[in-house]
Amino acid sequence: NAGVTQTPKFQVLKTGQSMTLQCAQDMNHNSMYWYRQDPGMGLRLIYYSASEGTTDKGEVPNGYNVSRLNKREFSLRLESAAPSQTSVYFCASGARVGYGYTFGSGTRLTVV
C-alpha cells in the first residue's frame, strides 16, 4: 500500500536547468496537489488538480507548470530553475474534503 510516491527524493540543479518532479497515488483519489515548504513559511500551494483533466493555479504558481497525466499521476515541471525555487516540494492527494490529504515523502530541491 504505497499511498503517494514522489520522485526524486533529492535533486541539485544549476540555475536555468529544467526538471520534472513526479507524483503518483494509488488510492483512487480525484484531487492532487503540489506544495512547497520553506522555513517559516508553512505549506504554500503551487498548483492543484481537482480531477483528471483539470489543473488550476494555487498561491505561488510562477515558474512552474503541471500535468495531470491520468488519475494516478500529477507532475510538476520547473522550466528554468532559479535559486528562489530551492525548497522542499510535497505532493498530496485527497478524496473528499472530509477525509484530509495524504502526502508524499517530499523532494528536497536545491538550485545553485
Smaller CB separation from other proteins, 18 or 110: 110
Question: And the C-alpha cell for 3?
Answer: 499511498
61 binds other proteins (CB under 8 A): no
13 binds other proteins (CB under 8 A): no
103 binds other proteins (CB under 8 A): yes
Q: Whose CA is closest to 25, among 76, 90, 71, 88?
A: 71
- Alpha-carbon gap, residue 107 to 99, rounded angstroms: 24
Residues 6+ apart with CB under 8 A from 44: 35, 36, 37, 38, 58, 59, 60
Which run of H or E residues covers position 65?
strand 64-68
Site for other proteins in 14-33 (CB under 8 A): 31, 33
CB of 43 to other proteins, least distance (A): 5
DSSP reduced 3-state for 30: coil
Span near other proteins by CB under 8 A; candidates 11-19, 50-58, 67-75, 76-84: 50-58
Of 11, 19, 50, 61, which one interacts with other proteins (CB under 8 A)? 50
Site residues (vs other proteins, CB under 8 A) = 31, 33, 40-43, 45, 48, 50, 56, 58, 88, 90, 94, 96-98, 100-106
